[in-house]
Amino acid sequence: MSQRGTARPDLDYEHLAPTADYVNRVVQVGGKYTLDEPFEVGWGNVVLDVTPRGLATRTFRRPDTSFQVHYGLLDGDVRIESDRGTRALSLRHDSVASFYTAFCDAARDLGVDPPDSPLICEIPGSPATFEEDRAARTWDPDAARLMCGAWNLAAAGLEAWQAPYLGHRPRVGVMWGGFDLSATRWRPQRTTPTPGRPAFQQNAELHAYVSVGFSFGSADAPHPGMYAYIWPQPDGLESRDWGVPGATWNPDAGLVQLPWPTLLQTPDPIHSIVTFGDAVYAAAVDLSGWPADWVCPRVDGWYMSRTPTEQVQRLERERHEEG
């Protein structure tokens, strides 16, 4: 797994927070269209793709038009692209409310209806709707550049970790509500959702899963880094080895955590993310009875294109026997 083309951005929560808070809100505008898509287990239908220059929705296909929304954080703009044309608007707005108005106007120009819901989701203390969020905002291109670099590094590792899994695995992407980049492995095993949570959170807990992700942190925990957890949470996590020195189990948060500075100190951060994810899945196998044989050998596409089938099958058997 090569690191070529992947930067190692240093992240400071206080520096990133104003821009991250603003981006978290404005990506929800285009992200609302994902709620019109068929529900995918664990809300896999809502994730935003990490692109070389920002975040993008999937392509939405409607009876009268197809379109996509791309947040070009490195370019400071948002592009709504459709089969009828393209409209661009700046990310430099004095408030979320003014951005929302400009977005809806640009969408209408293309024959695209505005999002069905103006509600701001999963951001504590925020106004109820985009129209009500009139707090003054400034755009920081340097913070946006650091965010893009971090997403791309983390996505490279998470995509490599996710690739050999045989079960259901939504696209690696950013959940526009909680604003974390995640890779989730699902297992068709009915669980009991946590009582008292909102419906959308309970509907994300209908089956067992293992999630590995990246977060910029929060005001309560201002520490960027990788995280992971197993649902339902098994006993015995406090005594596990998490593959990468410095990765630890945080019982108060219910998370395995790998701080961003610790990750960057490793010789190959992408490989370290894969190792971290593999250690979490191994814990799910050992403590929750997850199937070890749902993970194939991790090889590149050229290997698979020129290697006889029987050799691939032998490698797979050897890997499972070693596991």
Is there a cis peptide before residue 232, judged by omega within 30 degrees of 0? yes
Q: Crossing angle for the helix pair 96-109 and 13-31, nearest 10 degrees?
A: 30
pLDDT of residue 8: 85
Dump pLDDT digits (tens) for 198-248: 888 888 888 999 999 999 999 999 999 999 999 999 999 999 999 999 999
Mean of per-residue pLDDT scores for the chain: 94
Residue 305 has pLDDT above 80, yes or no: yes
Dump pLDDT digits (tens) for 117-168: 999 999 999 999 999 999 999 999 999 999 999 999 999 999 999 999 999 9
Rounded CA-CA distance 258/255 in Å is 10
Which backbone phi and psi does 136 adopt, to 5 degrees?
Answer: -65, 135
Rounded CA-CA distance 145/73 in Å is 7
pLDDT of residue 323: 62
Judge contact between 280 and 233, C-beta under 8 A.
no
pLDDT of residue 25: 98
Dump pLDDT digits (tens) for 82-131: 999 999 999 999 999 999 999 999 999 999 999 999 999 999 999 999 99
Residues in the chain: 323
Distances (CA, A) of 287 to 233, 234, 247, 314: 9, 6, 19, 27
Burial 93-109 (b: 16+ CB within 10 A, else e): bebbbebbebbbebbee
Identify the band that residue 4 occupies on the pLDDT scale cut at 50, 70 and 90. Answer: very low
Euclidean distance between the first and the last CA atom of the chain, given in angstroms as a whole number: 21
Identify the band that residue 6 occupies on the pLDDT scale cut at 50, 70 and 90. Answer: low
Residue 1 has pLDDT above 60, yes or no: no
Rounded CA-CA distance 194/227 in Å is 20
Residue for token digits 């297992």?
Answer: 187
> DSSP assignment of 198-242, as one string?
-HHHHGGGSEEEEEEEEE---SSS---EEEEEEESPPS-GGG---
Encoded amino acid at 255, one letter: L
Which of 117-131, 175-189, 197-211, 262-276 is the least confident region?
197-211
The whole-number average pLDDT for the span 40-60 is 96
Q: pTM of this prediction?
A: 0.93
- Read off the tokens for 219: 């005001």
The whole-number average pLDDT for the span 177-195 is 92
pLDDT of residue 2: 41
Judge contact between 257 and 279, C-beta under 8 A.
no
What is the Rg, in whole angstroms, of the alpha carbon atoms belonging to the chain? 20
Residue 5 has pLDDT above 70, yes or no: no
Helices and strands of the chain, counted as H and E runs: 8, 12
The whole-number average pLDDT for the span 18-39 is 97
